[in-house]
Structure formats: structure tokens, C-alpha cells
């Protein structure tokens, strides 16, 4: 896959491939990922300050890879940002080839990937979309926008309904009753109400 000059590619550390990252860097594209625990490197320079730590940045370092990784990345330098996530109470190491962004920007970009991951979790687990029907750029856009609209509608019903819905249950109930003629809000507010039985006038006995 080729990426345009200046674009930002944010990937999970499972996709870390130094030769591929070298191609991105050579094409003047930027990457942000998490460093692997077994990554060997030499620190060239370290930036530390109280201002950085106030933003959750523990260290901001310029590094050179060691071993085979150095050969695959052609001996070029990288940047590591060590960040403390106060919400999840965890420390993360982010790897990038951009040396001009603020350290907090590097961390923020990767955290945005988590938000996208949450969307795809909704897509797979709640809307049961496990694969794309079409794979062209336009087809993928249509399916993603349709899924976004669907999730927003479900979230709106969940927020407005008087009943305390779990989102997964709400999606499943609507899926099962999609062709049932019923007042949506009456049902959403009280899904287990025992209403008047349907009128039998006009119905015929089968036997």
C-alpha cells in the first residue's frame, strides 16, 4: 500500500516492520506506533522537563536502532516518547519518525487509534459486520458511513429511552423485531410491557 507524502500512519505494534517503516520514512510519510518490548536501540539524546511531565510525558528520546533492525531501517534515527496514561494507570512507549511534533501530540495521535478501534468493535460485535461486502474505496466508505449512522441511531435511542438499555441488548432486540409494527419509543421505554393482545377479527382458522 502506498501512502501520499505527509500522511500519518498510526498502527498497532503488531504491524511493526522496520523495512516497511523505512519505506514510509523514505516517502516522507509519518508513522506512530508502540515500540516492541524486545526492541534494541541506543539513545542519542533525551529531553526531559517539568512541563513535559505535567502533560504525562516521562521521556522524549532520539534513538538509533541496533542489530538487524538498524540495517532494515538503514541506520536512520527514530523518536521514542514514553507516556504515562493517568486514566488507564499505565505507561506506554510510542515510536515515530516525526521529530517536530510535541511529545504530547505523538501520544494523542496513538490514543485516537484506540477510538477507531472502539468503532470497529461496535461494527463487529454489535452490528455483526465481520467483513466488507465491497472492497473498493467507495464501497468501504459507504459501509463505514452506514455503520456510523446506525451506531449513532442506536446510541440516540439508548440515551433517550427511559429503560436502562445495554447497547448490545438494544441492538439485538431491534434486530429481532425489525419487522414488528409497534411504537418505537413506547417499546424502548418499556420493552416488557404486557399490552392488549392483537385483534383476531379478520383472521381465519388454519384447521
Rg (alpha carbons) of the chain, rounded to whole number: 25
What per-residue confidence (pLDDT) applies to 136? Answer: 86
What per-residue confidence (pLDDT) applies to 178? Answer: 83
User: For the whole prediction, is pTM greater than 0.85?
Assistant: no
| 61, pLDDT greater than 70 | yes
| 196, pLDDT greater than 80 | no
Three-class HEC string of 146-188 = HHHHHHHHHHHHHHHCCCCCCHHHHHHHHHHCCCCCCCHHHHH
Contacts of 77 (CB under 8 A, 6+ apart): 44, 62, 63, 64, 99
* The residue count for the chain: 207
Q: Could you give phi then psi for residue 60, rounded to 5 degrees?
A: -130, 110
Lowest mean pLDDT among 7-11, 38-42, 78-82, 173-177: 173-177
What average pLDDT does range 121-146 have in this prediction? Answer: 81
| 37, pLDDT greater than 60 | yes
What average pLDDT does range 91-120 have in this prediction? Answer: 90
CB 33 within 8 A of CB 13: yes
CA distances from 42 to 78, 109, 134 (A): 10, 25, 45
Domain ranges of the chain: 8-111, 137-189
CA distance 206 to 204: 6
Q: What percent of the chain has pLDDT over 70?
A: 89
In CATH terms, 8-111 corresponds, of 3.90.350.10, 3.20.20.30, 3.40.190.10, 2.40.50.140, to 3.90.350.10
Amino acid at each position: 500500500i502506498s501512502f501520499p507524502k505527509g500522511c500519518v500512519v498510526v498502527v498497532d505494534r503488531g504491524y511493526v516492520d522496520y523495512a516497511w517503516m523505512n519505506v514510509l520514512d523514505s516517502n516522507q510519510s509519518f508513522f506512530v506506533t508502540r515500540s516492541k518490548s524486545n526492541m534494541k536501540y541506543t539513545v542519542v539524546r533525551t529531553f526531559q522537563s517539568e512541563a513535559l511531565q505535567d502533560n504525562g510525558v516521562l521521556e522524549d528520546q532520539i534513538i538509533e536502532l541496533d542489530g538487524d533492525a538498524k540495517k532494515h531501517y538503514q541506520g536512520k534515527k527514530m523518536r521514542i516518547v514514553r507516556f504515562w496514561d493517568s486514566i488507564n494507570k499505565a505507561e506506554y512507549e510510542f515510536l515515530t519518525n516525526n521529530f517536530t511534533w510535541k511529545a504530547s501530540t505523538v501520544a494523542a495521535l496513538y490514543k485516537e487509534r484506540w477510538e477507531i478501534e472502539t468503532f470497529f468493535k461496535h461494527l463487529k460485535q454489535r452490528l455483526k459486520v465481520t467483513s466488507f461486502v465491497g472492497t473498493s474505496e467507495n464501497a468501504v466508505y459507504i459501509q463505514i458511513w452506514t455503520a456510523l449512522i446506525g451506531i449513532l441511531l442506536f446510541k440516540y435511542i439508548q440515551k433517550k429511552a427511559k429503560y436502562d438499555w445495554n447497547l448490545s441488548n438494544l441492538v439485538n432486540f431491534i434486530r429481532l423485531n425489525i419487522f414488528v409494527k409497534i411504537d418505537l419509543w413506547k417499546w424502548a421505554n418499556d420493552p416488557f410491557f404486557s399490552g392488549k393482545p392483537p385483534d383476531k377479527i379478520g383472521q381465519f382458522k388454519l384447521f
